[in-house]
């Protein structure tokens, strides 16, 4: 197969930021995807109904030229029942960040065990819980250590749909078949790179992300479930734009920007592994079933036509800038 037509492709985890950065990157996502799950870790975070409605309007304004559904999220905190009731119709789920785990997560949860009453209300209201699953242990072990939290949540709240966001380890993959209410998103960059690609030679700041890329055996475990279109796995780019001044600096910001090249990268990868027929499920069908959503009806054609990744999108440098890909989008969703 030298081409694939993707129906209503979805990005189930993306960072669109705010202000000028939102205006730059949001159209790049909306040009390819019928919808996306928008992260709430702004400054300040999206942690109230009022701020959720404001941010929804901002995203819709920035993507007004496209048929695009923004699936909004709230930043996890100790919400009241009244707050959750008021917010539920405006969002797809609530995103939990352990405090300090990643970009703009300083206001995250300090003690997850103390939030049982919120999890119970979310379970009762059928509000999905999206989790950045890392502890504050040694950086290579943080996600593996967090599996005990996933096990507790999945067992204590069996009707709560829990999405393990941007999983990077074989340990996380193994959980999928152990608990009915656990699901996962996987990024495209974690399907391509290991930690060796980031710091094995000179450090490559535009490949540095949180969670960090892991070992070859972890990448192989991720590849296996994605290429097989495991029914509990969805594509979520975790595309995270930062200005070049924040990436190429001593305090390198965490995040890989892939939004405009994600579908060609995926098509190239799935084609290489003779699994192009499974890409539709990974980038749309599974997510529609798991989240019970019906996105706008769009089609994107990706073909084996070479392209060169742009050196930059204004002040944001993408993954593998300047490199050549074998595949490209020949018919965008909104042509």
| Active site (catalytic) residues | 238
- Interhelix angle 49-62/19-30, nearest 10 degrees: 60
| Residues 105/95, Cβ–Cβ less than 8 Å | no
**Contacting residues for 269 by C-beta, under 8 A, at least 6 apart:** 188, 191, 192
Pairing of strands 93-96, 69-75: parallel
| Residues 258/319, Cβ–Cβ less than 8 Å | yes
For the chain, helix (H) and strand (E) counts, in that order, are: 13, 13
Phi, psi of 67 (to 5 degrees): -85, 90
Pairing of strands 328-331, 182-186: unpaired
Decide: residue 82, CB within 10 A, 0-12 exposed, 13-18 middle, 19+ buried.
Answer: exposed
Count how many residues are written for the chain: 335
Q: What angle do CA 46, 243, 51 make, to 5 degrees?
A: 10
């Amino acid at each position: 197969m030298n081409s694939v037509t993707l129906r209503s492709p979805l990005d189930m985890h993306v960072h669109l930021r705010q202000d000028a950065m939102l205006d730059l990157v949001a159209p790049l996502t909306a040009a390819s995807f019928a919808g996306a799950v928008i992260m709430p870790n702004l400054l300040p975070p999206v942690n109230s109904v009022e701020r959720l409605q404001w941010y929804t309007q901002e995203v819709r304004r920035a993507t007004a030229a496209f048929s695009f559904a923004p699936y909004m999220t709230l930043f996890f905190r100790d919400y009241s029942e009244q707050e959750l009731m008021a917010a539920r119709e405006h969002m797809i789920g609530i995103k939990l960040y352990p405090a300090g785990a990643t970009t703009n997560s300083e206001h995250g949860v300090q003690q997850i065990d103390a939030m049982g009453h919120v999890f119970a209300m979310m379970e009762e209201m059928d509000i999905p819980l999206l989790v950045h699953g890392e502890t504050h242990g040694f950086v290579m072990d943080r996600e593996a250590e967090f599996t005990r939290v996933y096990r507790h949540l999945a067992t204590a709240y069996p009707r709560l749909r829990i999405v393990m966001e941007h999983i990077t380890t074989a340990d996380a993959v193994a959980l999928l078949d152990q608990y009915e209410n656990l699901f996962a998103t996987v990024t495209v960059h974690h399907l391509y790179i290991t930690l060796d690609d980031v710091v094995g030679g000179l450090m490559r700041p535009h490949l540095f992300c949180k969670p960090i890329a892991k070992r070859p055996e972890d990448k192989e475990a991720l590849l296996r479930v994605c290429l097989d279109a495991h029914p509990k796995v969805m594509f979520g780019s975790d595309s995270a734009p930062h200005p070049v001044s924040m990436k190429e600096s001593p305090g390198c910001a965490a995040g890989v920007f892939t939004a405009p090249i994600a579908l060609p990268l995926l098509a190239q990868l799935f084609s290489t592994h003779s699994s192009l027929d499974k890409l539709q499920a990974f980038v749309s069908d599974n997510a529609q079933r798991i989240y019970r959503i019906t996105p706008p009806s769009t089609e994107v054609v990706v073909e084996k036509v070479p392209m060169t990744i742009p050196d930059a999108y204004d002040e944001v440098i993408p993954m593998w800038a300047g490199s050549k890909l074998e595949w490209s989008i020949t018919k965008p969703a909104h042509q």
